[in-house]
Chain A
Amino acid sequence: MTLFAIASREFKTLFLSPMAWTILAILHMIFAYLFLTQVETFTMLQPKLAVIENGPGLTDIIVPPLFGNAGIILLLVTPLLTMQLICGERRNKTLALLLSAPVSSTDIIIGKYLGILGLLLLVVVLVSIMPLSLLVGGELDTGKFLANILALTLLVAAFAAAGLYLSSIASHPVIAAMGSFGLLLLLWILDWTTGIKDQRSELFEYLSILRHFQNLQSGLISTVDVGYFMLFIGSFLLFSIRSLDNCRLFK
């Protein structure tokens, strides 16, 4: 109950300042541009594609690149959204309100997480609306489209969890933002080493966010990939709860 009170305040507050509006507007502008370039690419490729048997269709050309790029852009933006979550409360001295209220650390963390996730899901919705407009003149591969929505949703949920943790341990919002950006980018590029000199590290491959994201994007929804994201989110939320408990002990 109080969990949702925290979440809804977090979500509403974002829209009380120009922050959420600015972010949504700018992101939507960029996504729209990306979407239009993909549509342009498709119209150029269409005559060639028509000849190939079982060739890539409209959905393949437009949706995965759009969602892939959206993922990279959100990798840059999410740390900026999450940096204030706990760190900002600590700096504004409002954390005491939550800590002295009859609310557990778990409720505080999950509430904060759901609040920021609300905004990120709104971004996912905005991205997803664009391909739907293609239904006017064409057909979409619904399965693949839904798989991409799921992939992006899990991706931003993971980004937010990592950002929340960094925000709960950092003393300054900029450190939180930089920390979560560095962590996420590292996990994103982790499997780039594969392919160099036939080296393969299974551990790096498993840890790489990009690999799991792309697997889901291709329409192959496997438990391994969904499980990876669930573990990722769960671990970082757990770390955040622990760190909030710790700040009462060692402040």
Chain B
Amino acid sequence: MLLQAEHLHRYYGKHCAVNDVSFTLTRGDVLGFLGPNGAGKTSTMQMLCGVLAPSAGRIKINGIDLLAQPVAAKQHLGYLPDTPPLYRELTVHEFLTYCAQLHGVAKKNSRQAVRQAQERCGLTTVAKRLIANLSKGFQQRVGIAQAILHNPDVIILDEPTVGLDPLQISEIRALIRELGRDHGVILSTHRLSEVQESCSHVQIIHQGQLILNESIAALNLMMDTGIVQVTTRLAPDVSQLAAITGVNSIEYLSENCIRIHYSVANNPTPRLTETIIAAGWELQELTPVKKSMEDIFITLIKDNRS
């Protein structure tokens, strides 16, 4: 168990930003923290890193209580805040060397650690440049390099791919997956596709509360329903289609165009086409509609509100 958070609460004045959040992280997990803006993602992450003290609750990192022994616990922690904390007047190499010292990397290992972090984040070519003169994407990478430099057990990245171009995003995602193999990684994002691509677990946080805590596989199971969009030249008889096994429900888009929700386990598509052709409605289009996590996200939030 790398990280244990128990009943975390955080109040800003009377406003409750984080309300009773509990979860755990084990080695090899990449945990995606999802939520709309202002959901409490950043506050939760700041509490996990000791930047913010929780109003109530307990955090253990590698079994060490963060509040009782902050220095010992933070040794196992790498953190990239939402704004990368960079000293703009230093070069990349100087900055990373300073970070190595801050995290207590022994002097003889420091050079090696800095070089490795630079290589992993693709910073070798800009190592001697001033951070102030780097583009936003490179600055973001320096931020990530800083977080993984001392080889911490728990790596916490707050929106790591913000401001990067698509190529850089896929590089960083690959890096995160690689890090996830022998560390525990927590990353926050408001893009669901990112979680789908690089995480092994997902947590959805909304208005300070954890409304979903599942593995990606379990989440995909939850997304069992598939949708297919059917267009015919003549208006079909809906009751006849609804009777086919595997069809859950039918939704009207227009007279000739319907959306059929079905169960993936019992895919009715071949039976559908047969029925339509046999009835002579003249099939013009049959397109699978990809259901993304956005749908689940919206459903969950709706459920939570009602």
Contact = CB atoms under 8 A, between A and B. Distances in A.
A196 interface: no
Contacts of B146: 97
B137 interface: no
A16 to B, nearest CB: 5
Contact of B104 (A1, A97, A98): A1
Interface string A1-28: 1100110010001001100000000000
A199 interface: no
A248 B72 contact: no
Interface in B59-110: 70-75, 77, 79, 81, 83, 85-90, 98-99, 101-104
Given A17-B89, A102-B72, A97 B99 contact: yes
A212 B70 CA distance: 40
A103 to B, nearest CB: 6
A100 B50 contact: yes
A135 interface: no
Contacts of A2: 101-102, 104
Contact of B83 (A6, A93, A103): A93
Sorting the interface of chain A by its residue count into under 10, 10 to 19, 20 to 34 or 35 or more gives: 20 to 34
A94 B90 CA distance: 13
Given A100-B49, A104-B71, A248-B50, A94 B89 contact: no
Given A13-B89, A102-B74, A104-B71, A248 B52 contact: yes
A249 B53 contact: yes
B230 to A, nearest CB: 52
B246 to A, nearest CB: 52
B252 to A, nearest CB: 51
A101 interface: yes
Interface in A43-99: 92-99
B51 interface: yes
A104 B104 CA distance: 12
Nearest to A4: B101
Contact of A6 (B12, B85, B102): B102
A197 interface: no
B197 to A, nearest CB: 26
Contact of A97 (B52, B73, B102): B102
A101 B156 CA distance: 13
A189 B79 CA distance: 47
Interface string A103-114: 110000000000
Contact of A100 (B51, B72, B87, B88): B51
Interface string B23-53: 0000000000000000000000010011111
Contacts of A102: 70-75, 77, 102-104
A4 B165 CA distance: 38
Contacts of B83: 93
Interface string A175-196: 0000000000000000000000
Contacts of B73: 102
A100 B79 contact: yes
A16 B88 CA distance: 11
Given A97-B85, A97-B146, A13 B75 contact: no
Contacts of B85: 92-97
Nearest to A95: B85
A1 B50 CA distance: 21
A248 B51 CA distance: 6
Nearest to B75: A102
Contact of A99 (B51, B72, B75): B51
A104 B102 contact: no
A13 B87 contact: yes
A37 B52 CA distance: 55
B187 to A, nearest CB: 15
A5 B85 CA distance: 17
A17 B46 CA distance: 31
A40 B89 CA distance: 43
B95 to A, nearest CB: 9
Contact of A16 (B75, B90, B98): B90
A246 B101 CA distance: 25
Interface in B118-162: 146
B73 to A, nearest CB: 8
21 contacts: A5-B98, A6-B102, A9-B87, A13-B89, A16-B90, A17-B89, A94-B85, A94-B86, A96-B79, A97-B85, A99-B49, A100-B49, A100-B50, A100-B51, A100-B74, A101-B99, A102-B72, A102-B102, A248-B52, A249-B53, A251-B12
Interface of A: 1-2, 5-6, 9, 13, 16-17, 92-104, 248-249, 251
Given A100-B51, A251-B52, 8 more contacts: A96-B85, A97-B102, A99-B50, A100-B50, A100-B77, A102-B74, A248-B50, A249-B53
The 7 A-B residue pairs whose C-beta atoms are closest, nearest first, are A5-B101, A97-B85, A102-B74, A100-B79, A100-B49, A93-B83, A94-B85
